[in-house]
Structure 1
Amino acid sequence: MRGRAPKSTIFAFIGPAVIALALVGIAPLLYAAWTSVQFFNLTRLNQQRYVGLENYWTVLTDSTFWQAMGRTFLLLITSLPLQLALGMGIALVLHRPGLSLLKTLCRLSLVLPMATTYAVVGLLGQVMFNQRFGVVNQLLGNADINWIGDPTNAFIMIVFWDVWQWTPFVALVLLAGLTMVPTEIEEAARLETKSWWTVLRYVQLPFLLPGLVAVLILRTADTLKLFDMVFTLTRGGPGASTEFISLMIQRVGFRAFDQGLASAQAIILLIITIILAQIYIRVFYKEV
Structure 2
Amino acid sequence: MPETTAPPSRVPNRGYRQWTPFWFLAPAVLTLLLIGIYPTIFALVTSFRRYNIARPREGFPFVGLENYVSVLSDGTFWASLGTTARFYITVLPIQIMLGLVIALLLHKTGMGFLKALARVTLVVPLATTYAVVGLIGRLIFNRDFGVANQFLDMIGIGGFDWLGSPSGAFAAIAIMDIWQWTPFCALIFLAGLSMVPGEIEEAARLETSSKWALLKHVQLPYLLPGLTALLILRSADVLKLFDMVFVMTRGGPGSATDLVSIYIQRVGFRIFDLGTASAQAILLLVLTILISRLYIRILYKEVQ
1:101 paired residue number: 113
Equivalent AA in structure 1 for residue 256 of structure 2: S
- Decide whether the 8 Å contact of 2:52 with 2:274 is kept in 1: yes
Which of 7, 14, 25 is the matching residue for 2:36?
A: 25
1:216 and 2:231 aligned = yes
1:137 and 2:155 aligned = no
2:140 paired residue number: 128
TM (norm. structure 1) is: 0.96
Shift of 1:172: 0.5
In structure 2, C-alpha distance between the alignment counterparts of 1:234 and 1:217, rounded to whole Å: 26
In structure 2, C-alpha distance between the alignment counterparts of 1:114 and 1:43, rounded to whole Å: 38
Provide Cα deviations, 1:4-30, integer angstroms capped at 9, x if missing partner.
994311211222221211111100000
In structure 1, C-alpha distance between the alignment counterparts of 2:229 and 2:98, rounded to whole Å: 17
2:185 paired residue number: 170
In structure 1, C-alpha distance between the alignment counterparts of 2:297 and 2:45, rounded to whole Å: 31
Point out 4+ residue stretches in structure 1 off by more than 4 angstroms. none
Map of 1:44-123 to 2, 5 A cutoff?
44-47=55-58, 48-123=60-135
Shift of 1:197: 0.9
Shift of 1:114: 0.7
In structure 1, C-alpha distance between the alignment counterparts of 2:68 and 2:135, rounded to whole Å: 35
In structure 2, C-alpha distance between the alignment counterparts of 1:285 and 1:251, rounded to whole Å: 37
Structure 1: unaligned runs, 5 residues or longer: none
In structure 2, C-alpha distance between the alignment counterparts of 1:239 and 1:114, rounded to whole Å: 30
Instruction: Name the stretch that deviates more: 9-18 or 108-117.
Output: 9-18
Count of residue pairs brought into register by the alignment = 286
Instruction: Name the stretch that deviates more: 160-169 or 6-15.
Output: 6-15
SS of 2:153 mapped into structure 1: coil
User: Quick one: percent identity of the two aligned structures?
Assistant: 57
Provide Cα deviations, 1:21-66, integer angstroms capped at 9, x if missing partner.
1111100000000110000001111222100110000001111100
SS of 2:89 mapped into structure 1: helix
SS of 1:194 mapped into structure 2: coil
Structure 2: unaligned runs, 5 residues or longer: 1-13
Which of 172, 187, 195 is the matching residue for 2:210?
A: 195
**What RMSD in Å do the two structures reach over aligned CA positions?**
1.4
